[in-house]
Structure 1
C-alpha cells in the first residue's frame, strides 16, 4: 500500500473530531474526516473498477468531491478534475474538449456531481459515460486496493488551452512527498489550525493544498466554491471570522479584490486568528499585498501572516515557501542590470521582486543559462527543480512526455534567480519581451497599465508582437467599463502608454481597450497572454 493511502486511512480511523464544513453560507454542513471516509468506502464499493482506472470527476460542490476522490484512491484509481463550464461556455465545444481530455488520459468514466449533473443530457448526446455521485452507494469496500508509490494518484490538467490539453501525472509518492514538505514548511498543526478556502478543486492549489492535505493530515477545513467568493468577496473574511480560520490561500488578484471590499466595508470581521495567508499561483504584486494588509489591519490582520509562495503542478504543488511570520519581503534590484546583463544587482530603487523562500524539504532549485550551465547567486536564468515531488511526465494528446532530464531536473520555464537561499521569480520565459537587447517582463507593463484609473484590476495583458524577430514589439490590452466611450478610451490609451513608458522606458506599439470579460483566460482564471494577441 502506498504511504499516501496509509496516512489517509490512519487519519480517517484515528477517532479525532476534525473534518470539513461545506455549504456555507446558506446551509452549512460539517462532516468529520471519519464520516467522509465511511461515505467514500460506500462510493468505492459501488464503483467496482480495476486498479489503475483513470476516473474523471465533474462536480462543483466540495461535499460531493471529497468522498468521490477518496473513493477513487481506495479503488486504486487516479483522479482527474475536469474543467468546468461556465455560463458563457459553448457546451458543444466544451463537450468536444472534454472528449479529447478523456481520450488523452484513457478514461471511460466520469463521476458527475452537483451542479453539473444538469449536464447529463450533454454527456449522453456525446456518448460520454458517467455515473452520478449521489447514486453511488454500495456495500463498503473492505480494504483499499494496494498500489505502489509509482502509481498515478492525480492527473492534473494544466492551465492552458482546453482544446490542446495536457495532464501532469502525479504519483502517490509525489503527492506524499510534497504534502510532507508543505506540512513542515507551513508548520501545519492538526490540533489547532483551521483552513478556509474558496479555491477551485480543478486547480492544483485547491485540490492538493485545500482538500488533499487537510484530508491526509486531519486538519479542520471550511470549503466553499469560487462562485461563492466572487458573488460576495467579503464572505472570505466572514468565514475566517466565524470559524476562527488560521490558514488560507489565493492568487494575488483575489487579495486585491478583497482589499477593496474590506476598505469600504462596514461589517465587523476578526482576522486576528490568521496565521498564514498564502499568496501564490500567479505573480505577486507587492502593492496589492500592501492594500490587503492595510485594509485588513483594522480587523486585526497581521502583516507577518502573508506567506509568499512559489509552486507548480509539475512539482505536485509547492516548490518554495517564504520563512514563516516574515510577511512579504522584497528584493529590490537595478532594472538596467536585470534587463541587459541578466543580473539581479541590489539597488535602493528599481524592480522589487518578492522573496519566495527556500525550496521545500525534499526539493532542490537551481538556475541555469540557455546552454544549461549552472549559474551563481543573483545570476538570472531559467529555474529548474528536482526532488521526490516532481512529476515523471505529462500525458498529452500525442502520448506520454517525460519531464525530467537524465539527472532528474525539470526545467520550469520560469526566469528567476536565487539569493541567500531564497527563490525569486521574474517571469515566464515564453512571455519575456525582448527589445533592443533588453528583457522586458510583462508583469511590469501590466502593473503600470492597471495603475491607471478606469482599468479593471488584474485585467491587463502585455502581448509580444513579432516574437523572436529583430523588430519584436509589444502591445497592451486592458479591460475597462469605459470601453464604449470613445473619449474615455482615447484618454485611457494615452495614460496607459505614459505609465508604461515611465515603468519600462519603452512605448507600446498599441494600447487596446476592451469591455469586461473579453480577455482570454484559462479555466482556472489566469490570463492567457499569447491568446490575447488576437485582440490587437
Structure 2
C-alpha cells in the first residue's frame, strides 16, 4: 500500500475532527470517520460496477464533476481506495456554452482514458449532455447498495497515479499533470512540516475551487489525510458574498486559510466597510499564492483586518504549482510578508537582482523539504545568488510527466530537473519569482515584467480591480520593435469620453511605473477578459482577442 493511502486510513479512524459543509444556510458536520465510512460504501459500488458497465480497478481514471465538498470528499476517497486516479473536471458556469464545454470535456476524458465520470450536485442536470456524447457516468448519490469494502494493501503503490490535475489555461489543448501517490505523500508531508500543522489546534477555512490544486490538494486532501478540522464552502458562496470568508474564520476560530492575491484585495475592501463583530485574531496562516503577490494588496488586507484582530505575521507568501502537487516553497510561518527591493535598471538591463529601488518582489521562502530549486541562464549555466534566470525544480514531489492529447510527455531531464518556465532568483536561500518567461516584454534591451504594468494600470480610475492585462506585441510589418498593449475592464466601457480618460490615466501610470509607453490601451466591458476556469487572466488569449477585434 502506498504511504499516501496508509496516511488516509490512519486519519479515517478520527472520530472527533471532521469537515463542516453547507454554510451559511444549512451547516452540516461529519467526522472524518463518517466520511470514510461513506467512501468505503462508494468504493464497493464503484468496484462492483453495473449491469452494463464494469467496475473500476487499479489504474482506472475517473473524472469527477461536482461542486459540493460534501460529495467530493468521500467520492475522491472511494476512487483512491479502489486504486483509481481522480481528475476534477472543469465546471461550467452560468455563462458557459454547454456545447463547447462538452466538446472540451470529451477531449479531456479521452486524453486521460477515463473509464467513468462521477456526477454530483449541482451538476446532476448535465447528465443528458454526457449521454449525448456517450460519456459513461454515475451519480455520486447512486453509489450505494453494494456493501462496504475492506481496504486492500495492494490497492496502489508509490508510482501509481493519484491525481490527474488539469492545468490552468486553454481547454482547447488540454493537459493533465500526473501526480503519483509518492508525489502527493511527499508534498503533503513537506507542507505539513513547514506550516507546523497542529491537528488538535488548527482549523482550516476555505472557499477555494476543488478543480484547482490549491483547493483539491491544500484544502481537501490535506485535512482529509491529516485529520484536521475543516470548514469549506464553494467559490460561488464566496463570490456571492466575500465577507462570508471572514465570518467563517471568526465563527469557527479558523487558524489556516489560503487564496490567490485577488481574493485578499476583494476581502480588504469588504473589511473596510464591515460593521459587524468579527474576530480574525485566531488566524495564524493566511497563505497567498497561485498568482503574483501584490505587496500593496497584502498591506491593504492587513490594515483592513487589523481592527478585527488580524496579525500581519499571519500572512504567508508561497510559491506553488500543479507539477509538484501543490507547494514549492513557503515563507517561514509567523513572519509576515517579506519584500526584496531591488534596482529596476539592474534587473531589466543586466538580469541581476541588486538591492536598490524601483522594483519589489515578495520573498517566497526556502524550498519545501524534498525539493531542490536552481536558477539557470539562457546558456544553460547554473546561476548564483541574485542572478535572474529560469527556475528549475527537482525532488520527490515533482511530477514524472503530463498527459496530453498527443500522448504522455516527460517533464524531467536526464538529471531529474523540471523547467518551470518561471523567471526568478534566489536570495538568502529563499525563492523569488519575477514572472512567466514567455510573458516577459523586451524593449530596448530591457526585460519588463507584465505584472509591473498590470499593477500600475489597475490603479487607474474606473478600471476594475484585478482586471488589467499587459500583452506582448511582437515586432512585425506594422511595428519596428517589440512593444505591448494594456487591456483593461471598466464599467464605463462604451462611453467614448470615459474611455479616453481611462486610456490617458492608464498610459500615464504605466509610463511612471516602468518608463515605457504602451502601444495601445484597450478598454473592454466587465467580463470580457479571457480567464481560466480557476479565474486567472489569460494573456495569450487576451492577445488573440484584441488582434481579432474589428
- The TM-score, its normalising length taken from structure 2, stands at 0.96
Q: C-alpha distance in 2, partners of 1:535/1:365?
A: 36
> Could you list the runs of 5+ residues in structure 2 that have no partner in the other structure?
48-55
Q: Which runs of 4+ in 1 moved over 3 A?
A: 467-470
The corresponding residue for 1:520 is 530
The corresponding residue for 1:252 is 261
Secondary structure at the aligned position of 2:506 is classed as: helix
Kindly provide the CA deviation profile for residues 447-484 of structure 1, in whole angstroms up to 9, marking residues without a partner as x: 00001121111100001111699611100000001112
The corresponding residue for 2:99 is 92
Q: C-alpha distance in 1, partners of 2:353/2:276?
A: 43
The corresponding residue for 1:280 is 289
Kindly provide the CA deviation profile for residues 68-114 of structure 1, in whole angstroms up to 9, marking residues without a partner as x: 00000000000000000001110011001000000000103100000
The corresponding residue for 2:38 is 39
Q: C-alpha distance in 2, partners of 1:467/1:196?
A: 47
> Could you list the runs of 5+ residues in structure 1 that have no partner in the other structure?
none
Deviation of 1:166 after TM superposition, in Å, equals 0.1
- Tell me if 1:509 matches 2:524: no
**Contact 1:50 1:77 (8 Å CA) reproduced:** yes
The corresponding residue for 2:22 is 23
Q: Which of 53, 63, 67 is the aligned partner of 2:70?
A: 63
The corresponding residue for 1:302 is 311
**Contact 1:474 1:509 (8 Å CA) reproduced:** yes
The corresponding residue for 1:397 is 405
- Tell me if 1:481 matches 2:466: no
The corresponding residue for 2:435 is 427
The corresponding residue for 2:133 is 126
Q: C-alpha distance in 1, partners of 2:268/2:319?
A: 22
Q: Which of 154, 159, 163 is the aligned partner of 2:163?
A: 154
Kindly provide the CA deviation profile for residues 131-163 of structure 1, in whole angstroms up to 9, marking residues without a partner as x: 000010121112235211000000000001011
**Contact 1:247 1:275 (8 Å CA) reproduced:** yes
Kindly provide the CA deviation profile for residues 156-214 of structure 1, in whole angstroms up to 9, marking residues without a partner as x: 00001011100000000000000010001111111100000000000000000000000
The corresponding residue for 2:336 is 327
Q: C-alpha distance in 2, partners of 1:162/1:266?
A: 42
**Contact 1:199 1:226 (8 Å CA) reproduced:** yes
Q: C-alpha distance in 1, partners of 2:274/2:156?
A: 51
**Contact 2:461 2:505 (8 Å CA) reproduced:** no
Mapping of residues 215-254 of structure 1, within 5 Å:
215-254=224-263
Q: C-alpha distance in 1, partners of 2:104/2:450?
A: 29
- Tell me if 1:443 matches 2:451: yes
- Tell me if 1:369 matches 2:368: no
The corresponding residue for 2:53 is none
Deviation of 1:506 after TM superposition, in Å, equals 0.4
- Tell me if 1:379 matches 2:387: yes
**Contact 1:22 1:29 (8 Å CA) reproduced:** yes
Secondary structure at the aligned position of 2:239 is classed as: helix
- Tell me if 1:173 matches 2:182: yes
Deviation of 1:535 after TM superposition, in Å, equals 3.4
Q: C-alpha distance in 2, partners of 1:206/1:423?
A: 23
Pairs aligned (count): 534
Secondary structure at the aligned position of 1:307 is classed as: strand
Q: C-alpha distance in 2, partners of 1:121/1:463?
A: 39
Q: C-alpha distance in 1, partners of 2:480/2:220?
A: 48
Q: C-alpha distance in 1, partners of 2:543/2:30?
A: 47
Kindly provide the CA deviation profile for residues 31-79 of structure 1, in whole angstroms up to 9, marking residues without a partner as x: 0000000000000000011110001000000000000000000000000
**Contact 1:477 1:535 (8 Å CA) reproduced:** no
Kindly provide the CA deviation profile for residues 429-454 of structure 1, in whole angstroms up to 9, marking residues without a partner as x: 01000111110100000000001121
Q: C-alpha distance in 1, partners of 2:151/2:68?
A: 27
Kindly provide the CA deviation profile for residues 284-326 of structure 1, in whole angstroms up to 9, marking residues without a partner as x: 0000000000000000000000000000000110000001111
The corresponding residue for 1:495 is 505
Q: C-alpha distance in 1, partners of 2:370/2:115?
A: 35
Deviation of 1:16 after TM superposition, in Å, equals 4.0
The corresponding residue for 2:120 is 113
